[in-house]
Structure 1
Amino acid sequence: MSCLPFLDFAQLTFTMDLVTLLLLVTIILFLANVLKNQTQGKYKNFPPGPKPLPIIGNVLELDMSKPHKTFMELSKTYGPVLSVQLGMRKMVVLCGYETIKDALINHSEGFTDRPVEPVTAKLLKNNGIASSNGENWKVMRRFSLSTLRDYGMGRKTIENKIIEEAECLVQKIKTFEGKPFGNFTSINAAVANIIVAILLSKRFDYDDPTILKLMAIVNSNVRLLGSPWIRLYNSFPLLMDWLPGPHRTIFGNIREFLEFIKLTFTKQKKELDVNDQRNFMDAFLAKQQEGNPESTKFFHNENLIVLVGNLFAAGMETTATTLKWGLLLMIKYPEIQQKVQDEIERVIGSAQPQMEHRKQMPYTDAVIHEIQRFGDIVPSNLPRATSEDVTFRGYLIPKGTIVFPLLHSALRDKAYFKKPYEFYPEHFLDSKGNFKKSEAFIPFSIGKRSCAGETLAKMELFVFFTTLLQNFTFQPVPGAKLDLTPSLGLTNSPQPFEICAIPRS
């Protein structure tokens, strides 16, 4: 019996693959044309934007690593309400504080949803608070806000925990004895311990393998979720599912993270006393046992797992990143660091910094606000989706459209900030040196989807920052070049840097 030579078989395989590819492209083009015809009426009077190419949309025109930069440039041509298309998905971008406020405050009902992002939807579904919609989101947000308050958020009880944790962080940094260090996991762990105390009534040592693993997973996903590869995955999920890449790492990270939470609450459920609820997780488990329709429908295990994961990640990442920006900016601008330390000495002395001191420390307060503004931690904001057809500023935005209220554009708004691209604490000081608010300062976003942990984050930033500068003078490593360009990721974090913490006598 004869058989094809190896070379002929390879050629045959290549020919079959080529035919399959051409057939796939033909089907995609046909479906794209059908979709275009079906949606022409749907997207009539849609916000303007660059003309998309078939299939890929505007992918080639966007900086997929830092899309907010491209959006800002496009707004110069198309105005503060513009559209782009990634793959087959049409998106709307809102630029400038006034536009964002108009959408998220004055038209809040139309912009309350989150889009279904393929990279996370498979595992998270419509659970938790960060990416859920509809009644589930309302119930989980209401429960989260009330329970976080019950367990100390914004109150003296949690402030005392932050003060204690700040002192632990000081002792850890003292072990470096003024020598250069660039590993900031202790800062991440200190911040993480605050939300862990609320969620689980627990504290981890900074070198505990469990907290190190959880932080590594969160940091990895934050970095990967902002990568061009993941943006492409969300635009072309059917194609990308066939390819290797970071999305597979994210799937594994999420599964591992959720499994840890599942094991934790399974153990805690055995110890539950509904008459002596110790923490957030106890409060959720107690709701499960109420037996009413709401508890049955919403307070199930899957919601608990994702909700705790949402709060842990959000409670650690952005605050720790802001503190790292604070240290980098203090060594970049030592004269500003000195002014903060002078105010600390004048107002607090050697006492422990507390929130009651903040009103007497306008310069320090202004510096912390400017760190948040300049750091621009979540430049593109977490995306929204229209929950209904919305008529906004003369345009029709259909239900389900992805919307980016660009926080970067608000925090860099020239109408509100004199030197938007410079680190300038005077943005938050009046002519007499008193602290002044700016309504365009919205690092936690605004409206119904604003950050649920804003109050906690503000308390952490003040206590940790002032405690660190009370105890140390931070200096750069001799000869180091300080780069203020953010690294890539879902959040803007500083590039890796080393620092010297010199104890203050």
Structure 2
Amino acid sequence: MFSLLGGLALLAGSFLLLKLGTFYWERSRLPPGPLPFPVLGNLWQLSFRLHPEMLLQLAEAHGRVFTVWVGSTPVVVLSGFRAVKEALISNSEQFSGRPLTPLFRDLFGERGLICSNGHTWRQQRRFCLVTLRGLGRGRLALEGQLQEEVAELAEAFRQKQGRPFDPQVLIVRSAARVIGALVFGHRFLSEEPIFQQLTQAVNFGLAFVGTVWRRLYDLFPWALRHLPGPHQELFRYREAVRGFISQEISRRKLRAPEASEDFISCYLAQITKTVDDPVSTFNEENLTQVVIDLFLGGTDTTATTLRWALIYMVQHGAIQERVQQELDEVLGTAPIVCYEDRERLPFTRAVLHEAQRLSSVVAVGAVRQCVTSTRLHGYSVPKGTIILPNLASVLHDPEHWETPCQFNPSHFLDKDGNFMVNEAFLPFSAGHRMCPGDQLARMELFLMFATLLRTFRFQLPEGTPGLRLEYVFGGTLQPQPQEICAVPRLSSCSPSSAPSREGL
């Protein structure tokens, strides 16, 4: 009996030593980093979150390329523009993979755009890029839709009559209706239950990925799949959203084949076109997931950036006044703001870019995976290694920004006051996995920001002690919930009515 127990103990001890030996041998092959613990890795030191500021502190101790362990999985973190550029731009193909964590595998599978790889990803991405650009090339029609949405957003602000309110709900609703019109071909009414459920699903999902529950699910998926918790609510939202998208797909099938005025119609036409192609990945499962991906990528980041931009204008009243002066001088009595106006509004454009830079809403960016063994910043990186580009470290890199932690529109202006591009401005990431909807986001942000600043003066409510500038960490870096006042500017031209399509 004792010999049997002793043998089992010896076997267990040997297995543990083997696992520990393998663990530390694998660690020795990767870039340096903080000492990990068995099972948890560095999650305890990281408070179970890949927090951008904490990763910046680790970069100071371990270098621009270092390794942290998420449980038993190594993650190579890239900090600063040079390291991120080397991976995502100079070696974009080698770092174009997308690892699937247990949570994302259970939620989405290897479908769609965000979580797919290989042939599926290449086909889906190419189609999304071409289709989104094609829909956007009817630029005047798309711009007209955006101007209509912006006019309604401004009207919603005006109805507050200068009283304190939190603009989050109105801005998120507006951004969601923009992407909804592009994907589904019709504008949602704000009170529609399915529209409210879609925005709730996006908000809940992005908040969930910043919680400890997300890390616990990835560590113990076999247990969490069967246990109660907020992750189960996430899966309920997924099923509801999939059901709605399936209904929309069924409606599109009843239309004439040539009716390709929205993304779903274009995708269905592509399914028909490639039905006899044995390697085609165009099917309704991928379509459903791509639509979810577009909503996730196209709603929160745009809305959050605009919220930060308004907060910065409240914080920097002199800059807000200078933006409004430029808008008044350049646009005069023009009834609406047009996207082409940005070329004549260098300061307004610089202020909006600076808001994107300083807020860095995407934080650490989406993880990549090394698809072939390669070298990065002098280190060997084996095939399959997970790569995490800390985009916040790029947008705050002191080598490329004069005052990286301060709001400074001069980062995007030359000595003559002309707008200029900075190569370290990567809010949409870079390389093969760059956001495919960046052009839509740029147009949407400019039209919203310029119109709102032209129409209102933003300020704190009387008696408010000050702005809360600490962000809420989740899927994106959200501003704290807080109220501001949108006081109508009597001298401004009020875009109270939507522009006509013929007038564009």
**Alignment deviations for residues 424-456 of structure 1 (CA, whole Å, 9 cap, x no partner):** 112112222221211111000010100101111
Deviation at 1:173, TM superposition (A): 1.5
C-alpha change, 1:259 and 1:334, in structure 2 (3 Å) is same
**Residue 370 (structure 2) aligns with:** 386
**Alignment deviations for residues 342-392 of structure 1 (CA, whole Å, 9 cap, x no partner):** 000011123111111111111101100010011110111011111122222
Contact 1:108 1:447 in 2 (8 A): yes
C-alpha change, 1:237 and 1:144, in structure 2 (3 Å) is same
After superposition, where does 1:54-453 map in structure 2 within 5 Å? 54-65=38-49, 67-152=51-136, 155-241=139-225, 243-269=227-253, 271-294=254-277, 297-351=280-334, 352-453=336-437
Contact 1:185 1:206 in 2 (8 A): no
Q: Which amino acid aligns with 2:328?
A: E
Q: Which amino acid aligns with 1:357?
A: D
Q: Which amino acid aligns with 1:253?
A: Y
> Greater shift after overlay, 316-325 or 228-237?
228-237
C-alpha change, 1:66 and 1:383, in structure 2 (3 Å) is closer
Which sections of structure 1, spanning at least 5 residues, go unmatched?
A: 1-24
2:34 match: secondary structure: coil
> Greater shift after overlay, 228-237 or 72-81?
228-237
Deviation at 1:246, TM superposition (A): 2.5
What is the root-mean-square deviation of aligned Cα atoms in Å?
Answer: 2.1
Deviation at 1:488, TM superposition (A): 2.1
Matched residues, number: 480
**Residue 497 (structure 1) aligns with:** 482
Deviation at 1:40, TM superposition (A): 6.1
C-alpha change, 1:28 and 1:469, in structure 2 (3 Å) is farther
Q: Percent identity?
A: 37
Deviation at 1:242, TM superposition (A): 5.2
**Alignment deviations for residues 471-495 of structure 1 (CA, whole Å, 9 cap, x no partner):** 1111111122201111121100100
2:30 match: secondary structure: coil
2:123 match: secondary structure: helix
Q: Residues of 2 paired with 1:30 and 1:313: CA distance? A: 46
Aligned counterpart in structure 1 of residue 439 of structure 2, from 455, 470, 477: 455
**Residue 30 (structure 2) aligns with:** 46
> Greater shift after overlay, 320-329 or 154-163?
154-163
Q: Which amino acid aligns with 1:149?
A: R
TM-score by length of 1: 0.90
Contact 2:56 2:79 in 1 (8 A): yes
Q: Residues of 2 paired with 1:154 and 1:366: CA distance? A: 27
2:173 match: secondary structure: helix
Q: Residues of 2 paired with 1:477 and 1:423: CA distance? A: 22
Contact 2:86 2:377 in 1 (8 A): no
Contact 2:108 2:289 in 1 (8 A): yes
Q: Which amino acid aligns with 2:63?
A: G
Which sections of structure 2, spanning at least 5 residues, go unmatched?
A: 1-8, 491-504
Q: Residues of 1 paired with 2:198 and 2:287: CA distance? A: 17
2:319 match: secondary structure: helix
TM-score by length of 2: 0.90
1:396 match: secondary structure: strand
Deviation at 1:278, TM superposition (A): 2.4
Deviation at 1:413, TM superposition (A): 0.2
Q: Residues of 2 paired with 1:404 and 1:33: CA distance? A: 30
Contact 1:289 1:295 in 2 (8 A): no
Q: Which amino acid aligns with 2:478?
A: S
Q: Which amino acid aligns with 1:231?
A: R
Q: Residues of 2 paired with 1:320 and 1:89: CA distance? A: 33
> Greater shift after overlay, 180-189 or 482-491?
180-189
C-alpha change, 1:258 and 1:33, in structure 2 (3 Å) is farther
> Greater shift after overlay, 354-363 or 388-397?
388-397
Q: Residues of 2 paired with 1:504 and 1:496: CA distance? A: 25
Deviation at 1:68, TM superposition (A): 1.7
